[in-house]
Every structure is written in C-alpha cells, then in structure tokens.
C-alpha cells in the first residue's frame, strides 16, 4: 500500500515536471525572436570559478546593466562539462533568453543544443572558443589563439637573437582546439614545424602546474642544453619554471606563455617569464552584449569571426615585436589585481 | 619431525600462495625490471640525481597513497583525499601569505584534513553509508571549497617552513635526499610498524577481512574504522605539506587526479580492493613504479598518451595477479 502511494506521488511529480517543462519551453520559444525590443542575454561559461570566466561574466553583467538588458549567467561544473552546458542552454531558453553567449567547453559537444536554440530564433554567439564548424553559431568573438601563439613564438625567436632554438614544449590537453592553435601558432612564429630537430622534447600537462613541473624535470634529465621553452598557459609555465629553477637553468632560457592573468603578468615583472601574451575576455563579453542589444532592437545578427585581439607583454621589448610592458599589463590583466 | 614435514610443504608452495603471503614482491619485481630496462634503454635514466628526482616526484602521491592503503585495508575507499589535500595547501599558503606564523598555518591545514577524516569516518560508522558515496560527495564539496578559497587563482608560497620539505636536502652516499623524502620514509616505517606489530594493526586487517567476525571476536569495529579515517586524514595533511615543498604555488587546479593516482599506487602495490590484504611496503613500490615509468618513458621521448596506456595496462595486470593468487589459494 505504502509502496503504491509512493509510486503515485513520484508519477505525479514526474508528470507535473514534464508538462511544466513543455509549457515553459513553448513560451520561451515564442518570445525568442529578435527585433522585439528588450534584450535578454544568457551567458554560459565553461566554469564559474576560473578568474578568466569570472572576469568575462562580470564584464558581461556590467555591459548588460549599462544597456538596459536582462542578464543571467550559468556555467558548466568543470572544463569539458558538455552536458552541464547543454542543460544551461536549455535553462536559459526556458527563461526566455533571446541571445545566448557561450564559451563552449568543446568545439563540438554542445552543437545540437545550439542548433535547437538557433532554430527557435535565439541569437547564439561563441565567446573565447570557436565551434567546429565555425558557422554552427551566428558569430564568434574570441582571441585568435593561433595569432596569440604566433606572438609568443615571434618574441622567443627575437629574444634568441639569431641563435638556433633548442626548444622544450609544455602543451595543455592534447587534441583540444585551443591547445592545437596555440601550439601551431607558436611554431609558425618561431619558424619551426612539428618535425623540426630544434624541438628537443615535449610534454602534455593538462593545465596542471604539478604535472608541468614533473614533465619538465623528466625532459631536463634528457638534456639541459636548451635555450627556449613554450608553455601553453601560465599555471603550466609556473610549473615548468620551478623545474628549470631547481636546475639553475633559468638564466639561459627564454620562456614564453599565454593568458594575461594578473598573476602571469606578475611573473613577467619578476622575470620568470620573458613574455606572456594577453587575451581580453572583457572585450569579448562587452561586444557580445552589444550585439545582443542590437539584435533585440533591430533583428540584425552579427556574423563571422571577430578577433578580440592579443598583446605581447614583456619588460624587454625587442625590435620587430609589438609589445606592452608589465605596468600596462597589470592595468589590463584579468583576475585578482594585486 | 615437524621441521621435516614443514620443509616440503614450503617447497610445494605455489606462486599464488607466495604472492598472497608477500604482496610487495610483485611490485618490487616490476620496479626493478623498470629501472633496469630504462637504465639500459637510455643513458640518462640511471643517474643519482635523476633517481632522487623520481622519488621526489612520487612523494605527494606516495603520501596520499599511504593513507589510502589504510582505508582500502578496511575495504573502504577515499575519493576525496587529494581534494582535501589541495584545500589544505591553499589554507596553509593563504594563512602564511596573510602573515600567520608558518607553523600555525601548517597546523591549520593538517587539522582540516583530520576534520574531513572524522566527518567521513563518522558517516561511515554512525549512518553506515558506503565509503564510495561519502567520499564522492566530500570530493565534490572540497573541490568547490578549494576554488572558492583561491578564487581560481594560485597562491605563491614563500614561507620557509612550508617549503622546508622540498628545499632542505643533504647527501646520503652521493644521493641528494630531501627532508620530504626522509619524512615520507619515516611515515611509511611508522605505519608499517603500527600495522604489523600492534593490536591496532591486527584489528585493521581483521575488520577489512570480515567485519562481522571481527565484531564477534570483540574488536570494536566502529572505533577501528574511525581511527583509520583519522590517521589517513593526518597523512593527507602531511601530503599537503609535501606538495608545498614540491611546487612553489598552491594551485586549486593541481592534483586533479590525485585521488585516482593514489588508488593506482595502492593497487599496483598489491593491496586488495576488497580489503584485509596488502602492505604499505607494496604501496611504496606502487607509487615509485608509476613515477619511474613516467620519467623513463619521457626520457625515451614516448608520447604522454602512451605513458597513460602503459600505466593503465600495468594496473589491470596487478589486479589480474591479485585475482589469480586468490583463486589458487581457494582451490
């Protein structure tokens, strides 16, 4: 008896939830068209704790407030949480968002949810990371990661002053879009290819400082006769630096990184990194919100890839490489400013 | 007469029985084979500095695995150990950065991991929840806490005491030994002694083998389980200290797979996931085998994905050996 009443309660709850869902979705779909006046902007980031995405979210919220748009932010639970992002997109549609700004966890993992949203008339703009294919979204506002890598490579090449590079590479997650673009850009910038003998070794450290340190220690055991280090982001750069420092090699090496977090700029100022390449999450967010406002007013959608730029930060500027110093970097960095 | 009958019985002991009696032998053999292979295959691996580096690389996971061994011996599992350790590193680093005395900061981190141990042990004994579920939940909460504390950003460590385990070293027979290595060795010896020479150790094995029989023979099962989680919590706090000695920043994104790495070391070391059988000596070998593989394969320029492939295959081989040994014993 007790069992049966429990089943009934569960069934009723499921029914209520599912019908509620249908009604809300239907309603959401109807209000989702552009040109209807007020912008309702939903933001989906990869996580909500990483300072990079915190900066992006805060900038988007501020821009929405300044332009009289509704704003709501959701996130995946961890980098790579496609399922969490799909749920976030569904929730935003239920809330009636007419523009969704998303930093996709993977370039392909959320394509179906994005297509459903666009079919219902929602403007979808990818921020920070492009989708594959790129036209799965209406437009992409992001760092050109290949160009960012190229900037790092060009700086390292200039700093070597004609000496042939002997390079160790610290990559991120093997096969990820950003990783591949930065890696390829760096090699182009320094004038090498993946099969060049100047590359003395590489390790993939998945963004983890301690793994980068271990990988670098093991690579250095093979040979300490190196003069250049590529690191795919700043935490891994710090891990690599710890390994180089323990061997007393930091003086002979030009190390570059990418990100532009305030801590990374501080590492440039302290001399740990010769240079880092800064990205501008704030610009991505602001331009995304402005596009949403425009869409709500006029129904006009942006399209294509909009590069929000990157800048080489170094205190040792070199001819031929456009750069800013760490003082400028500390004013423009993202994350906790010290 | 008795010795005469005992001797032939010993000769007839099967390999399975031998491995059951001495579970650390398998991993020790694997370790020796790996060291020999890499020493022959590369001219850089066999080098006193490198061997010291490999040991230092395995310190954090090795210390996490020490506590994990105790938990697995009572047929539990701790998925939250690395997350607990990361929170402790952040607390230590943040307190020290705010000007707190290094010793107080260290103590605060260790107290936290012990409190986590009491929380897990409390739920496991009072409410009888499976350790897998409790520690899965704890893992999720602690991961969130570490990101909240850090705001996603690394905290540089400058306090001398917090870095002491990594920075202070001496030479022993030409091999550079850090205080971290010394401390880990002492901890392993301490736990080995407690497990093999004290009543508490016998209780741990008994509870892991058959909790009901242990209870009927007068062992206070709940008290033993709780004590295991507390001791394990203490080792995770010390692992945090080891981590700060190794890496110059407390970073919430570090050791994301530390919980699984510690389980890998325990299983490679011949400890049974079903509890009641295993040794900390084996775990030490298990942790070292993984570090040796990583170091040697990197020096042979083997891609990271193949390194993971090799580690996984070795793990499965270890479990297969455990199974075969048990089956031989039963038949």
Kindly give, in sequence order, each residue whose CB lies less than 8 Å from that of residue A203, ignoring residues fewer than 6 positions away. A168, A169, A170, A171, A211, A212, A215, A216, A218, A219, B298, B304
Task: Please answer yes or no on whether A235 and B299 come within 8 Å at the CB atom.
Answer: no
DSSP state of B220: -
Task: Please answer yes or no on whether B152 and A217 come within 8 Å at the CB atom.
Answer: no
Q: CB-CB: which of A174, A207, A239 is closest to B304?
A: A174
Task: Please answer yes or no on whether A235 and B44 come within 8 Å at the CB atom.
Answer: no
Q: Report chain A's C-alpha Rg in angstroms.
A: 23
Per-residue pLDDT averaged across A155-163, rounded?
A: 95
The two structure tokens encoding residue A241: 């630096």
- A254-259 and A310-313 beta bridge pairing: unpaired
DSSP state of B171: E
DSSP state of B69: H
Q: Look at residue A103 in the predicted model and tell me its pLDDT.
A: 92
Q: Look at residue B175 in the predicted model and tell me its pLDDT.
A: 87
Most B-contacting residue of A49, A204, A207, A273 (CB-CB within 10 A), to test interface: A49
Q: Look at residue A66 in the predicted model and tell me its pLDDT.
A: 94
Instruction: Encode pLDDT of A71-92 as tens digits.
Output: 999 988 777 788 889 989 998 9
DSSP state of A207: T
Cβ(B64)–Cβ(B262) under 8 Å? yes
The two structure tokens encoding residue A319: 């001819």
Alpha-helical runs (H) found in chain B:
2-11, 15-21, 25-41, 48-57, 59-73, 81-97, 102-122, 131-150, 160-167, 179-197, 199-209, 211-216, 221-246, 258-268, 280-299, 304-330
Backbone angles phi, psi at B294, to 5 degrees: -60, -50
Q: How far is CA B35 from the centre of its chain?
A: 21
The tens place of each residue's pLDDT in chain B, 331 residues long, gives: 344 444 444 556 676 677 667 777 888 888 999 999 999 998 889 988 899 999 999 999 999 999 999 999 999 999 999 999 999 999 999 999 999 999 999 999 999 999 999 999 999 999 989 999 999 999 999 998 998 898 767 888 989 999 999 888 888 888 889 999 999 999 999 999 999 999 999 999 999 999 999 999 999 999 999 999 999 999 999 999 999 998 888 988 889 889 999 999 999 998 988 888 899 999 999 999 999 998 999 888 888 888 889 889 988 888 887 777 777 766 6
Per-residue pLDDT averaged across A160-170, rounded?
A: 95
Residue of B nearest to A205 (CA): B304
Residue of A nearest to B167 (CA): A246
Cβ(B288)–Cβ(B51) under 8 Å? no
Q: CB-CB: which of B44, B57, B304 is closest to A203?
A: B304
Say how many CB pairs under 8 Å bridge A and B: 88
Q: Say whether pLDDT at A14 is over 50.
A: no
Q: How far is A179 from chain B (nearest CA, A)?
A: 15
pLDDT averaged over every residue in chain A: 87
Distance CA A213, CA B58 (A): 12
Ranges of beta strands (E only) in A83-130 are: 99-102, 123-127
Distance CA B180, CA B50 (A): 16
A-chain CB neighbours of B147 within 8 Å are: 49
pTM surpassing 0.90?
no
Cα→Cα distances A205→A173, A265, B264, B289, B294, Å: 7, 21, 19, 19, 12
Residue of B nearest to A240 (CA): B247
């Amino acid at each position: 008896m007790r069992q049966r009443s429990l089943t009934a309660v569960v069934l009723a709850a499921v029914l209520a939830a599912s019908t509620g869902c249908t009604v809300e979705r239907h309603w959401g779909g109807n209000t989702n068209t552009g040109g209807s006046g007020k912008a309702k902007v939903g933001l989906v980031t990869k996580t909500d704790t990483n300072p990079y995405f915190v900066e992006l979210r805060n900038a988007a919220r501020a821009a929405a407030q300044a332009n009289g748009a509704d704003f709501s932010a959701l996130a995946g639970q961890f980098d790579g949480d496609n399922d969490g992002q799909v749920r976030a997109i569904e929730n935003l549609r239920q809330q009636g968002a007419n523009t969704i700004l998303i930093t996709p966890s993977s370039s392909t993992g959320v394509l179906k949810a994005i297509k459903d949203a666009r079919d219902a008339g929602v403007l979808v703009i990818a921020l920070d990371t492009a989708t594959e294919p790129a036209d799965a979204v209406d437009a992409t506002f992001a760092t050109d990661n290949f160009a960012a890598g190229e900037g790092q490579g060009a700086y390292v090449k200039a700093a070597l002053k004609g000496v042939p590079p002997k390079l160790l590479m610290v990559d991120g997650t093997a096969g990820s879009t950003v990783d591949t673009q930065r890696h390829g850009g760096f090699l182009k910038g320094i004038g090498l290819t993946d099969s060049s003998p100047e590359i003395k070794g590489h390790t993939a450290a998945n963004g983890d400082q301690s793994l980068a340190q271990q990988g670098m220690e093991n690579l250095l055991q093979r040979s300490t006769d190196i003069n250049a280090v590529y690191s795919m982001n700043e935490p891994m750069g710090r891990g690599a630096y710890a390994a180089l420092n323990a061997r007393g090699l930091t003086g002979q090496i030009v190390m570059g990184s990418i990100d532009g977090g305030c801590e990374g700029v501080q590492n440039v100022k302290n001399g740990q990194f010769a240079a880092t390449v800064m990205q501008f999450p704030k610009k991505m967010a602001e331009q995304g919100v402005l596009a949403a406002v425009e869409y709500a007013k006029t129904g006009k959608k942006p399209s294509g890839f909009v590069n929000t730029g990157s800048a080489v930060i170094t205190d040792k500027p070199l001819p031929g490489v456009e750069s800013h110093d760490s003082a400028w970097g500390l004013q423009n960095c993202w994350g906790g400013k010290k | 007469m008795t010795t005469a009958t005992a001797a032939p019985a010993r000769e007839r002991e099967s390999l399975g029985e031998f491995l059951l009696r001495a579970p650390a032998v398998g991993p020790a053999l694997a370790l020796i084979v790996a060291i020999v292979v890499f020493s022959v295959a590369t001219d850089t691996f066999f080098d006193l500095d490198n061997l010291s580096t490999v040991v230092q690389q395995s310190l954090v996971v090795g210390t996490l695995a020490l506590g994990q061994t105790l938990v697995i011996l009572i047929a539990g599992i701790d998925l939250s150990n690395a997350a607990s350790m990361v929170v402790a590193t952040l607390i230590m680093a943040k307190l020290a950065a705010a000007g707190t005395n290094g010793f107080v900061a260290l103590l605060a981190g260790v107290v936290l991991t012990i409190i986590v141990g009491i929380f897990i042990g409390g739920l496991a004994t009072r409410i009888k929840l499976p350790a897998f579920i409790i520690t899965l939940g704890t893992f999720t909460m602690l991961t969130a806490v570490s990101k909240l504390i850090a705001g996603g950003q690394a905290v540089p460590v400058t306090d001398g005491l917090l870095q002491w385990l990594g920075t202070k070293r001496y030479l022993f027979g030409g091999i550079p030994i850090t205080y971290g290595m010394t401390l880990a060795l002492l901890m392993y010896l301490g736990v080995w002694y407690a497990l093999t020479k004290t009543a508490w150790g016998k209780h741990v094995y008994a509870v892991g083998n058959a909790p009901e029989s242990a209870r009927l023979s007068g062992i206070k099962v709940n008290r033993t389980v709780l004590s295991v989680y507390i001791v394990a919590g203490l080792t995770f706090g010390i692992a945090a200290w080891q981590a700060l000695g190794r890496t110059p920043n407390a970073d919430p994104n570090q050791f994301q797979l530390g919980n699984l790495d510690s389980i890998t070391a325990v299983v490679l070391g011949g400890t049974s996931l079903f509890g009641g059988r295993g040794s900390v000596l084996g775990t030490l070998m298990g942790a070292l085998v993984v570090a040796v593989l990583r170091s040697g394969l990197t020096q042979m320029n083997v891609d990271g994905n193949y390194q993971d492939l090799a580690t996984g295959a070795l793990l499965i081989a270890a479990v297969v050996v455990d199974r075969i040994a048990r089956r031989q014993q039963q038949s």
